[in-house]
Structure 1
């Protein structure tokens, strides 16, 4: 069993709201992430997308490529068109040794629109799940043949957000479709990360660790805020700094033999939440939580 800790550059620069950390160079993200104690990074919008360019940059910092987000559109295009669209991303991940692809269906999504309440997200009709799942499985089969397994990201503001929708996704897809367990998004959606981990342990191949400031979440729901306004208000923080029960969750991951990355992905305003400070806090908390749960981190 191999478990490593990584981080997403959202701590420094935000993909959905580029004005957050817009002036922060990639060099700062990587050097501070390494200083904080992480072994790898997920992709962000400031990362070069050619393996021959990005590889040496990561090597110079002693970092690995963990994974990277792909915006799926299977509700709008064919399997063949999706596979064609995914080629460059798949090539980048495979070339640099990343074995999981963060995949999310974004058709009709609202999480990137600051003026739209997250409650206005799209939803799948009952009769759409089987077709969507079959198409996603075909794409996942293709990626797996090339050494990269899809890790489906349930995400606020999209068609797969709630615990029930995760269950439907898992029921309508094959084993080639892995599940990215995102503690923060699932808690925001009213779900239970511990219950989902226990129910779908054999499908989880990637974990995003973000904590929730529960009072900020209650306010965001009460005022029906957009996802980005909730982020700006500080709804997310690093693991161990909010209200999620990571101790129990990590014991479950250990018991199930989870192998993969534990990634701090806690989008905050870097002008308010000093990136190096919170990255270091996140790394230290992950290491402590792993040790308490009996999870041995790989070098």
Structure 2
């Protein structure tokens, strides 16, 4: 069964904490619950211990889904990464998560407002040869700790383009699952329908955000940074851009897990509750049209 969740980045940004910084956590959780959201991913305003995190979400009838963890496997081996991740793994597992969301952040530019996306890191063959087996080993260690590693391809990082996603998937083992992000895929030049079809057996988590192609075009023409592009509205909620979600979901007839609304926007320009409600209603319709069953 599929459950619809949300990421608090729809209300408050983690890379630029001043964006939506004035929106209380309680407002975010209350609005999410009212919309029909069942679970939330982690944000900077959330409690820092598993019992407190579970309790806060339970106040609003929500459960914990998971949260982002930055890996640096180009700089340290899998065992060192696993040791560094111990606290993050314990928090997620203790709060009820089943997956660990990871993204390789060595030399990333996605959190640097002054850095154009063209400055992102591109791996050499030698770096790929180091990175891929380390990611597999790290995923196996995470599995031993009781969580499934789901890899988040992301703009501004070493796995951004369709070719890079393909190389990543071909070079990692079965313990590594894919977090399919429709917005990052589309902006990065990949077809999310193709990714869903090719990797359906290894997709362990889904992030849904849509892309405003006019803003994307201006970003690429102007050499904007990731954060400037976000603030200008490159992303929006599912159904408000160009992604064909019904086609994506039809490629995933056996998917069982979370579908997360993760559409970072400037809340002063895109009222969070209005947009998340729009995204939720669209997702329900898209999932129903694709024939996928949601949890009762």
| TM-score, length basis structure 2 | 0.98
- Is 1:248 the counterpart of 2:247? The answer is yes
Alignment counterpart, residue 276 of structure 1, candidates 273, 277, 280: 273
Whole-angstrom distance in 2 between the partners of 1:204 and 1:113:
29
Whole-angstrom distance in 2 between the partners of 1:173 and 1:248:
26
- Is 1:287 the counterpart of 2:284? The answer is yes
Q: How does 1:252-271 map to 2 (within 5 A)?
A: 252-254=251-253, 257-271=254-268
Aligned to 1:48: 47
Deviation at 1:80, TM superposition (A): 2.1
CA RMSD of aligned residues (A): 0.9
Whole-angstrom distance in 2 between the partners of 1:102 and 1:43:
10
Aligned to 2:238: 239
Q: Is the Cα–Cα contact under 8 Å of residues 74 and 130 in structure 2 kept in the other structure?
A: no
Q: How does 1:12-23 map to 2 (within 5 A)?
A: 12-23=11-22
Task: Write the deviation string for residues 59-109 of structure 1: whole angstroms up to 9, x where unpaired.
Answer: 111111111000111111122221111111111111122111110000100
Query: How many residue pairs align between the two structures?
Result: 296
Deviation at 1:147, TM superposition (A): 1.7
Structure 1's consecutive aligned runs of 4 or more residues displaced over 4 angstroms after TM superposition are none
Q: Is the Cα–Cα contact under 8 Å of residues 51 and 95 in structure 2 kept in the other structure?
A: no
SS in 1 for 2:251: helix
Whole-angstrom distance in 2 between the partners of 1:81 and 1:30:
35
Task: Write the deviation string for residues 255-283 of structure 1: whole angstroms up to 9, x where unpaired.
Answer: xx111100000000001100110111111
Whole-angstrom distance in 2 between the partners of 1:150 and 1:266:
22
Deviation at 1:30, TM superposition (A): 0.7
SS in 1 for 2:3: strand
Task: Write the deviation string for residues 161-189 of structure 1: whole angstroms up to 9, x where unpaired.
Answer: 01111111111111101100001011111
Whole-angstrom distance in 2 between the partners of 1:298 and 1:95:
23
Whole-angstrom distance in 2 between the partners of 1:226 and 1:153:
19
Deviation at 1:229, TM superposition (A): 0.7
Whole-angstrom distance in 2 between the partners of 1:67 and 1:220:
30
SS in 2 for 1:197: helix
Task: Write the deviation string for residues 231-274 of structure 1: whole angstroms up to 9, x where unpaired.
Answer: 011010000010111111111122xx111100000000001100
Structure 2: any 5+ residue segments left out of the alignment?
A: none
SS in 2 for 1:258: coil
Aligned to 1:142: 141
Q: How does 1:66-145 map to 2 (within 5 A)?
A: 66-145=65-144
Deviation at 1:209, TM superposition (A): 0.2
| TM-score, length basis structure 1 | 0.97
Whole-angstrom distance in 1 between the partners of 2:45 and 2:84:
20
Deviation at 1:224, TM superposition (A): 1.2
SS in 1 for 2:201: coil
SS in 2 for 1:291: helix
Task: Write the deviation string for residues 180-229 of structure 1: whole angstroms up to 9, x where unpaired.
Answer: 00010111111111111111111110010000011111111111110011
Q: Is the Cα–Cα contact under 8 Å of residues 182 and 209 in structure 2 kept in the other structure?
A: yes
Whole-angstrom distance in 1 between the partners of 2:48 and 2:168:
29
